[in-house]
Amino acid sequence: MNKIFEILKQKKLQIFFLFYIFLVLPFLCILAQNLSIFETSFIIIINILLFLSVLLLSLFMSTKTEKIIYSIILVISILPGTIFLGYLLFAKVLLEQNSITSLFETNPEESKEFLVYYLNSWVVLGVSFYAILPAVMVGLMRSAKSLTIRKHKKLFIIALTTVLAIVFIPNISKSVYFLNFYRTYISYKIRVKKETWGIAERQKHPYEVSNMYADSIPQTIVVVIGESQSKKHMQLYGYERKTNPLLSAKNDSLHIYTDVVPPQVHTIPVMRSILTLGEHDCPEFFIEKPSLFELFNRAGYTTYLISNQSFGGPLGTSYDVLLNLAQHKYDLSSENKHDEVVLKTFTKALKKAPANNKLIVIHLIGNHMAYKFRYPPQFAKFDNTKDDFIKPNNFISNQVIPVIDEYDNSILYNDYVVNKILDTLIEKGGAKTSLVYFSDHAEELYNYRNFAGHAYEKISPYMCEIPFFVWISERFSNNRNDIVIEPSRPYSTADLVYSISNLAGIDYIDYDKKRSLFSPDFKPSERYVGSHLWEDLIAR
């Protein structure tokens, strides 16, 4: 025992290094608002065990071996450590699986804007210091005596077994930040491979989709997906700033739904859900059941995807496999333009194949952070220094007021773009047309705390209150008296495929009329946002 203490005395720097790598971040989890006391304590205990076991093993190592092993630990832990630390410091959350996965999926442009929005000099300074300090420590380590395994067999076996158990038992290794990071990455890669293969495979097998209202006039259905749009900032939903002057003028012909929520608060999981029949309780339906484009392809529609968000690139997302099923795909994001870039391609799509039924999905960049990049200068209309609309309070400081102005300007521009899409459809889309508009998820904007954005770890009802409206041409609705419009129906866009199928009048074995927003047989079902029941979220 004396010998152990003697060695430990010589290894002060090593002890400090291990404490730094294994315990600083777990102790900072106390800051995380998305963890319960139980979860934080569990993380701390597991990491203390890991720290002590590695420290015991280090007693058996020569300083040279130690330096090599610590350098490896440093290399693998520093990137995840920096990311987790950054989020803990600026967002006060410990990243959860879903968000770690989206780190591997987000396109670089989006990440850049996100960083620009949240970074400040303190975060940069803190994170740089965090990364450099342990490298200096490894360099400064001095040689010390070591124990022999032969004489301390028991101690060695206990320490080694503990380390191996923590690394290889999944429910425990989840608590060690860098193990969690790499495990998530590997399982994400395996999942995407499996899904891509499964979905491609399924296309080879027959699946009957029938068209119940086929007639000589072709119909065109347009689905426009917005981004990070809160209905609380829309004039269409009663916001006092005139952010929807153009769509409000069409108010009589728009059916504005008031109780629609998304299945998640991040783009990727939302898109995965709304494009498929995948369900909260049956995620395997993502592969097993057909998705939106596939159903419409099989129903004889010509299908289009026009997107101002990137897809299909080397940093592809896990829903690219669904988007790529569209027969005509246009990724306009590389042009780096505002959303009106979609109009030209949309007009072309309307003119193409005039005798065919069409499904056209338009994915906008909408109101995504940073808001000031989302509109051209002529839409910079709202300015609090002029209208004194926003009053500062505990969570709205004078610094954030311009951000709210910018968000409202981006809504004003979105009003212009969506109105233009609708006008183009009315003018060039033929007689039987319809348009469904909604946002993937909403956005919190200093509503009750000093926070703007959307993050599952900080989920609030404000991130879920999305706009959803429908426009249907006269010829379309005259032909379809089975379509029911009740804008107060409680709905989740998780069931979107059923509603669009219903609108098109296509039928297939998995179609469930109770889940279509437009069906006379509609039945409200339990709505989940991630793993939260919507009712529980609003009750909080």
Among candidates 237, 256, 232, which has minimal Cα distance to 470?
256
User: Min. distance of Cβ 276 from Zn ion in angstroms?
Assistant: 17
**For Zn ion, which is the closer residue by CB, 88 or 364?**
364
User: Min. distance of Cβ 50 from Zn ion in angstroms?
Assistant: 36
Q: Which residues pair with 225 in a beta bridge?
A: 363, 438
Given the rule CB under 5 A, which residues bind Zn ion? Answer: 227, 267, 440
Phi, psi of 453 (to 5 degrees): 135, -165
- Side-chain half-sphere CA neighbours of 77 within 13 A: 22
| Cα–Cα distance measured from residue 108 to residue 315, given in angstroms and rounded to the nearest whole number | 9
**For Zn ion, which is the closer residue by CB, 317 or 409?**
317
User: Min. distance of Cβ 190 from Zn ion in angstroms?
Assistant: 25
**For Zn ion, which is the closer residue by CB, 227 or 444?**
227
| Cα–Cα distance measured from residue 421 to residue 518, given in angstroms and rounded to the nearest whole number | 22
Q: Give exposure, 246-270, as e/b (b: 16+ Cβ within 10 Å).
A: bbeebeeebebbeebbbbbbbbbbb
**For Zn ion, which is the closer residue by CB, 59 or 466?**
466
User: Min. distance of Cβ 32 from Zn ion in angstroms?
Assistant: 23
Neighbour count for residue 195 (Cβ, 10 Å)? 17
Q: Residue 8 CA to chain centroid, in angstroms? A: 46
Helices (H), 141-174: 153-168, 170-173
User: Min. distance of Cβ 20 from Zn ion in angstroms?
Assistant: 36
Residue whose pair of structure tokens reads 């630390």 in the numeric block:
85
**For Zn ion, which is the closer residue by CB, 227 or 495?**
227
**For Zn ion, which is the closer residue by CB, 98 or 501?**
98
**For Zn ion, which is the closer residue by CB, 180 or 439?**
439
Among candidates 400, 405, 373, 371, which has minimal Cα distance to 386?
405
| Cα–Cα distance measured from residue 458 to residue 406, given in angstroms and rounded to the nearest whole number | 22
Asked if 245 and 413 count as a contact pair (C-beta separation under 8 A), the reply is no
Structural Rg of the chain based on CA atoms: 27
| Cα–Cα distance measured from residue 421 to residue 347, given in angstroms and rounded to the nearest whole number | 9
For residue 460, give the H/E element and its range: none
**For Zn ion, which is the closer residue by CB, 97 or 525?**
97
User: Min. distance of Cβ 110 from Zn ion in angstroms?
Assistant: 9
**For Zn ion, which is the closer residue by CB, 227 or 408?**
227
Neighbour count for residue 79 (Cβ, 10 Å)? 13
**For Zn ion, which is the closer residue by CB, 235 or 367?**
367
Q: Closest residue to Zn ion, Cβ-based?
A: 267
| Cα–Cα distance measured from residue 437 to residue 361, given in angstroms and rounded to the nearest whole number | 10
What would the DSSP string read from start to end of 254-279? EEEESSEE-S-SSHHHHHHHHTS---
Asked if 443 and 454 count as a contact pair (C-beta separation under 8 A), the reply is yes
User: Min. distance of Cβ 434 from Zn ion in angstroms?
Assistant: 24
Residue whose pair of structure tokens reads 């296509």 in the numeric block:
506
Q: Name the token pair of 81.
A: 């450590």
Amino acid at 492: S
**For Zn ion, which is the closer residue by CB, 26 or 262?**
262
User: Min. distance of Cβ 202 from Zn ion in angstroms?
Assistant: 27
User: Min. distance of Cβ 46 from Zn ion in angstroms?
Assistant: 33
**For Zn ion, which is the closer residue by CB, 358 or 363?**
363
User: Min. distance of Cβ 377 from Zn ion in angstroms?
Assistant: 24
| Cα–Cα distance measured from residue 434 to residue 480, given in angstroms and rounded to the nearest whole number | 12
User: Min. distance of Cβ 438 from Zn ion in angstroms?
Assistant: 12
User: Min. distance of Cβ 330 from Zn ion in angstroms?
Assistant: 19
| Cα–Cα distance measured from residue 177 to residue 130, given in angstroms and rounded to the nearest whole number | 15
Q: Name the token pair of 109.
A: 């442009």
